[in-house]
Amino acid sequence: MFMKKLLPLLLGLLAAGPILQADPTPAASTITAVTVYTDRAVVTRTASLDLPAGVTELAFANLPAGLDDRSLQVSGQGTAQATILDVSAKRTYVVTTPNPRAKQLEDELKALLHQNRGLDERGNLLNAQAAMLDQMQVALFAPPAKDVPRPDVKDLGNSMAYLTEQKAKLATAGTDLDAERETLKEKIAAAQAQLNELRDGTGGKNYQTVTVRVSAPQAGRIDLALAYAVPGAGWTPGYDARVQSAERTVSLGYFGIVRQNTGEDWNNVALTLSTARPGLGGAAPQIEPWSLDVFVARAPANLIVTGGLFNERAAKSKDEGYLKANLAAVNMQSLTSNAPAPVYDATAAQATVEAAATSASFKIAAPASVPSDNSPQKVPITTAKLAAAPEYLTVPKLQATAYLTAKVFNNSDFPLLAGAMNVFLDGTFVATSPLRTVMAGEKFDLALGADEGISVKHKRVKKFTEDTGLTNSGKRITYEYLITIQNNKKTAERVIVADQVPLSRNEKIVVKLLSPDAREIKPTDEGTLKWTLDLKPAEKRELTVKFTVDYPNDIAVTGLE
């Protein structure tokens, strides 16, 4: 009897179809921290949820399409004694673009294209009107048919005036239409370019959904952190070096220029700039056997490119540590209304540096916002007063100009990465020069541009040719140059002067240095001469470079001046 009652119920459940699993619970998350590398970024999202007892599926939806699912990292803490079972990513395709900025641009582009169709319709109407006027003009001057009177002169004049007036209006309307089309064409091109740039990072009309399965023995609260790597982001270093000629220090402003086109905006996030390069992989490449063989023509094979694995453990440790970092509060001292308010120079925020075995990370002091539109965002890393020893360098043979340089010592805790440096001397912009990578405690040269306060002159005093040998079988050419350096500044300055003597590449050609004395200034293996002069104010020094070149008459010597 029991089976007779149970059988219809089972048949009804089977007819109704398979039992549906509950949809994942949406995890309302926000981006709280981002670590930016030179070629990617690791984004950390956080979500606070109430977990029921048992297994719960949590869905982080509308994530960037370019998300690297191999880099997914999940951590959590809270009152719920939860266990993270697994994490997965799935690509979802939609009709409308999930990125709000891209969707706005798509709508603008549709409106512009609609306007363009309206202009095309106006153009077609103008062409139809012009064709109608042409037909009227042909009919006006056509031979009259039988029994049809020819229009008199007055009617003919009125008709011609009407045609001329209408054609002039059509010409003006056509010119206005062409101008509108040109303006609209530029707007469409600009909107399309912006949209293409955004779609490069967002992946167009698709996105990723990350599902996290969590098990809890009893209900409770949990704070989840989801970290993932995305392409389309990077940063480059930049510098402002300010030198005061009366001081022996350089005020260096160190900042990072961040760009990102990942498909999601970073609003008020804890930002870290890392010098690590995960794209290079974790180990040095292995050398393969170098084989030689007889060439045999073959059909070209397909090229398969594989990328390096992302260092998930390092990224997790960096971002989890960053989530726990606290920003120091700034105390403002109240000012009395009776005393005048003091004036302070504005200072840049200071990042903190964390040095690892193979890289360094700069934690930006204040929360930063970087929109996903590839626009540059300049964030301060640090400012430092660096010890500097100014000196002048001149190569009179090539250019009779003295260039001010500074030997700078990086006494900060920050490594200076290779990048562009804007140089200011006494508040005036003088040059943009490349800076090589300089580690903490290392010295580097800072080029500050030409200075007319040091006078430089280079003059050839003598070039004398004579015969040598018992039978006049050889030649000797004597060269003599005079270099004059004068310090016209009010302070003592050090000037490095560089010149050269020729090098012989053949045993038949003999070069002999006569001045300066080789015991005082010895040429380098490349033939370079270098003097270090410490000049007092208004002091002038003259340097003589003199040498001879001997060679047989039966050879032609190249390179002689």
What pLDDT, in 10s, does the model give residues 112-167? 888 888 888 888 888 888 888 788 777 777 776 666 666 666 777 777 788 788 88
Task: Determine the average pLDDT of the residues in 328-337.
Answer: 33
Q: Is residue 31 within 8 Å of 50, Cβ to Cβ?
A: no
180 vs 475: which has the higher pLDDT: 475
Residue 338 lies in a domain: no
Residue 480, classified by CB atoms within 10 Å of its CB into exposed (0-12), middle (13-18) or buried (19+), is: middle
Residue 279's pLDDT is 65
CATH number of the domain residue 465 falls in:
2.60.40
Q: Where in 324-427 does DSSP place strands (E)?
A: 352-355, 360-363, 368-370, 377-395, 399-409, 419-425
Residue 499's pLDDT is 94
Kindly indicate the confidence band of residue 483, based on its pLDDT and cuts at 50, 70 and 90.
Answer: very high
Kindly indicate the confidence band of residue 329, based on its pLDDT and cuts at 50, 70 and 90.
Answer: very low
Residue 342's pLDDT is 59
The C-alpha R_g of the chain, in whole angstroms, comes to 39
Task: Determine the average pLDDT of the residues in 482-494.
Answer: 93
Residue 218 lies in a domain: no
* Residues whose CB falls within 8 Å of the CB of residue 27, separated by 6 or more in sequence, listed in order: 47, 49, 58, 59, 60, 212, 224
Residue 319 has pLDDT above 50, yes or no: no
300 vs 465: which has the higher pLDDT: 465
| DSSP conformation class of 331 | P
For residue 473, the Cα-to-chain-centroid distance in whole angstroms is 64
Residue 407 lies in a domain: no
Residue 179's pLDDT is 85
Residue 547 lies in a domain: yes
Express each pLDDT in 40-67 by its tens digit: 999 999 999 899 999 999 999 889 888 9
Residue 202 has pLDDT above 90, yes or no: no
Kindly indicate the confidence band of residue 520, based on its pLDDT and cuts at 50, 70 and 90.
Answer: confident
Task: Determine the average pLDDT of the residues in 177-185.
Answer: 83
Query: Where a domain ends, among 159, 184, 202?
Result: 202
Which domain, by its residues, includes 547? Answer: 454-552
Q: Is the peptide bond before 340 cis (omega within 30 degrees of 0)?
A: no
Residue 270's pLDDT is 94
Residue 305 has pLDDT above 80, yes or no: no
Residue 393 lies in a domain: no
CA-nearest of 37, 87, 42, 44 to 229 is: 42
Tokens representing 420 are 């562009």
Query: Where a domain ends, among 202, 218, 239?
Result: 202
Residue 44: half-sphere exposure toward Cβ, Cα within 13 Å: 29
* φ/ψ of residue 177, rounded to 5: -65, -40
Residue 107's pLDDT is 79
Q: Is residue 88 within 8 Å of 210, Cβ to Cβ?
A: yes
Task: Determine the average pLDDT of the residues in 370-399.
Answer: 89
Residue 110 has pLDDT above 50, yes or no: yes
CA-nearest of 197, 230, 202 to 40 is: 230
CA distance 458 to 284: 51
CA-nearest of 88, 96, 34, 95 to 59 is: 88
Is the C-alpha dihedral spanning 419, 269, 363, 280 positive or negative?
A: negative
Kindly indicate the confidence band of residue 272, based on its pLDDT and cuts at 50, 70 and 90.
Answer: very high
Q: Is residue 59 within 8 Å of 168, Cβ to Cβ?
A: no
Task: Determine the average pLDDT of the residues in 83-87.
Answer: 91
Residue 197's pLDDT is 65
Residue 497's pLDDT is 95
The pTM of this model reads: 0.60
Kindly indicate the confidence band of residue 95, based on its pLDDT and cuts at 50, 70 and 90.
Answer: low
* Percent of the chain surpassing pLDDT 90: 31
CA distance 347 to 380: 10
Residue 537 lies in a domain: yes
Mean pLDDT of the chain: 79
Task: Determine the average pLDDT of the residues in 404-417.
Answer: 86
Kindly indicate the confidence band of residue 171, based on its pLDDT and cuts at 50, 70 and 90.
Answer: confident
119 vs 232: which has the higher pLDDT: 232
Residue 527 lies in a domain: yes
Residue 214 lies in a domain: no
Residue 328 has pLDDT above 60, yes or no: no
Judged by average pLDDT, the poorest of 61-65, 130-134, 280-284, 389-393 is 280-284
| β-sheet with 83-93: strand ranges across | 25-26, 54-63, 206-216, 83-93
Task: Determine the average pLDDT of the residues in 348-362.
Answer: 65
Q: Please give the tally of structural domains in the chain.
A: 2
Query: Which of 92-96, 202-206, 216-220, 448-452 is the most confident on average?
Result: 216-220
CA distance 188 to 3: 72
Residue 1 has pLDDT above 90, yes or no: no
232 vs 189: which has the higher pLDDT: 232
- What is the per-residue DSSP string for 143-163? PPPTT-PPP-HHHHHHHHHHH
* Percent of the chain surpassing pLDDT 70: 78
Q: Is residue 410 within 8 Å of 442, Cβ to Cβ?
A: yes
Residue 413 has pLDDT above 60, yes or no: yes
454 vs 162: which has the higher pLDDT: 454
